Chain A
Amino acid sequence: AQSVSQHNHHVILSEAASLELGCNYSYGGTVNLFWYVQYPGQHLQLLLKYFSGDPLVKGIKGFEAEFIKSKFSFNLRKPSVQWSDTAEYFCAVNPNTNAGKSTFGDGTTLTVKP
């Protein structure tokens, strides 16, 4: 079974600061990787995803993530955060098999101070 670890539980930044949220997973096979965002009081929405090809993927709202296979990592980055980025961020791993289930990390709460 796969597992996902998000190292930062709560990150507090000022506007315009750069962001990097860590995500590591454990699984021996091919995986699909996702970052989801949950704005306060809302449901989870997809930020970006990686299936294959270029390990640097770009998502919505200026977010990007880099898949480093040797490190089993899929860290999320944004060069300059905004107050509206305040939200909960979840990394998820899917083992890309039939009926494979997605496993979520415990989430990182990002607070951006204006």
Chain B
Amino acid sequence: GAVVSQHPSWVICKSGTSVKIECRSLDFQATTMFWYRQFPKQSLMLMATSNEGSKATYEQGVEKDKFLINHASLTLSTLTVTSAHPEDSSFYICSATRDRNYGYTFGSGTRLTVV
């Protein structure tokens, strides 16, 4: 149990366009999902906490107008990178948790390349 599906696994887009990444919990309901960004050879950086039915909570330094998060249901959260630029190229990973007894389950990640 506790499977999180993330799509797409990789995407290449032109500078100035927007890209949407989906994160789904397949076999459990997740009231909270998390979005991370990972730079090469570095650990994960939490970008925002996505709460079902309410606004996301962004970490300091993360532009909420740049990284739009929507958590419309208990099984789906989306991250939209708006007006993408080459510096937004990175590896984005989502995670979800059912409750404290189950820990965190991660998606397989999305490699975004902005050209």
Q: Do A and B bind each other?
A: no
Residues of B at the A interface (CB closer than 8 Å) are: none
